[in-house]
Amino acid sequence: MPEPPSDTVAWVRGAAKIRRLAIPVSFVVGITAISGAFVAGNDAGHAFNTFPKMGDTWIPEDILSMEPIMRNFFENTATVQFDHRILATATLLSISGLWWATRKLDIHPAIRSLLGSTMGMAALQVTLGISTLLSYVPVSLGSAHQAGALTLLSLMILLSHTVRKPSPILLKSLSSSVTRTANAVSMSLSTSLSTCTAQRVVPKSAKCYRECSYTNFTPNQSVLSKPLHSNDRALSSLSLTMNSSKCQGNGKILRSGGFQCHALDIKSPSSFLAGEKFQLDDVIEAQQFDLDILNAIFEVAREMENIEKRSGQSEILKGYLMSTLFYEPSTRTRLSFESAMKRLGGEVLTTENAREFSSAAKGETLEDTIRTVEGYSDIIVMRHFESGAARRAAGTASIPIINAGDGPGQHPTQALLDVYTIEREIGKLDGIKVGLVGDLANGRTVRSLAYLLAKYRDVKIYLVSPDVVKMKDDIKDYLTSKGVEWEESADLIEVASKCDVVYQTRIQKERFGERIDLYEEARGKYIVDRTVLGVMQKHAVVMHPLPRLDEITVDVDADPRAAYFRQAKNGLYIRMALLKLLLVGW
Query: What pLDDT, on a 0 to 100 scale, did the predictor assign at position 227?
Result: 38
- Give the pLDDT band (50/70/90) at residue 273: low
Q: Say which range, 5-14, 314-323, 419-428, has the weakest mean pLDDT.
A: 5-14
- SS3 label, residue 109: helix
Residues 522-550, mean pLDDT to the nearest whole number: 89
What gap in Å lies between CA 476 and CA 495, rounded to an integer?
A: 18
Q: How many CB atoms lie within 10 A of CB 323?
A: 20
Name the catalytic one among 333, 413, 421, 505: 333
What CATH homologous superfamily does 412-584 map to?
Aspartate/ornithine carbamoyltransferase (3.40.50.1370)
Residue 428 — left, alpha, or beta (φ > 0 → left; ψ -120 to 50 → alpha)?
beta
Residues 521 and 528: their CA atoms lie apart, in Å, by 18
Q: Encode pLDDT of 131-152 as tens digits.
A: 998 988 888 888 899 899 999 9
* Helical segments of 175-275, H only: 179-189
Cα 540 to Cα 428: distance, rounded to the nearest angstrom: 12
pLDDT score recorded for residue 418: 92
Contact 502, 464 (CB under 8 A): no
Annotated active-site residue 161? The verdict is no
Please tell me the distance from the alpha carbon of residue 160 to that of residue 347, in angstroms, as a whole number: 31
Can 229 be counted among the known catalytic residues? Answer: no
Please give the Cα distance from 462 to 489 (Å, whole number): 7
* pLDDT category of residue 355 using cuts at 50, 70 and 90: low
185 has a pLDDT exceeding 60: no
Q: What is the DSSP letter of 4?
A: P
Given a cut of 60, whether residue 156 has pLDDT beyond it is yes
SS3 letters across 69-83: HHHHHHHCHHHHHHH
If one compares 472 and 360, the residue with the highest pLDDT of the two is 472
Query: For the chain, what is the mean pLDDT?
Result: 77
More confident residue, 170 or 208: 170
pLDDT band for 30, please (50, 70, 90 cuts): very high
Q: Report residue 350: phi and psi, to 5°.
A: -125, 145
**pLDDT, greater one: 4 or 292:** 292
Q: 362 an active-site residue?
A: yes
Q: Is 302 a catalytic residue?
A: no
Which listed residue (332, 342, 355, 561) is catalytic? 332
Pick from 39, 80, 585, 578: which is nearest to 294 by CA? 578
- Helix, strand, coil in percent for the chain, rounding step 5: 50, 10, 35
Name which of 63-67, 418-422, 494-498 the model is least confident about: 63-67
Which residue type sits at 451?
A: Y
351 or 569, higher pLDDT = 569
Distance of alpha carbon 7 from alpha carbon 14, whole angstroms: 11
Q: Measuring CA to CA, how many Å separate 4 from each of 54, 183, 269?
A: 55, 9, 11
The CATH code of domain 313-406 reads: 3.40.50.1370
- Residue in 383, 391, 424, 433 annotated catalytic: 383
Question: Per-residue pLDDT averaged across 225-248, rounded?
Answer: 36
249-268 pLDDT, tens digit per residue, is 333 333 333 333 333 333 33
Q: What pLDDT is stored for residue 329 in this prediction?
A: 78
Residue 444 has a pLDDT of 82
Residue ranges matching CATH 3.40.50.1370 in the chain? 313-406, 412-584
383 is catalytic: yes
pLDDT band with cut points at 50, 70 and 90 for residue 491? very high
Q: Which of 85, 392, 411, 525 is catalytic?
A: 411
Which stretch of DSSP H or E encloses residue 261? strand 260-261
Give 33-83 pLDDT, tens digit per residue.
999 999 988 888 888 888 888 888 899 888 888 889 888 888 888 898 899
pLDDT at 422: 94
Per-residue pLDDT at 356 = 63
Name the residue with higher pLDDT: 504 or 357: 504
DSSP bridge partners of 324: 350, 381
User: What's the average model confidence in pLDDT over 360-385?
Assistant: 86
The catalytic position among 309, 310, 362, 538 is 362
The residue that leads in pLDDT, 221 or 543, is 543
Residue, of 505 and 409, whose pLDDT is higher: 505
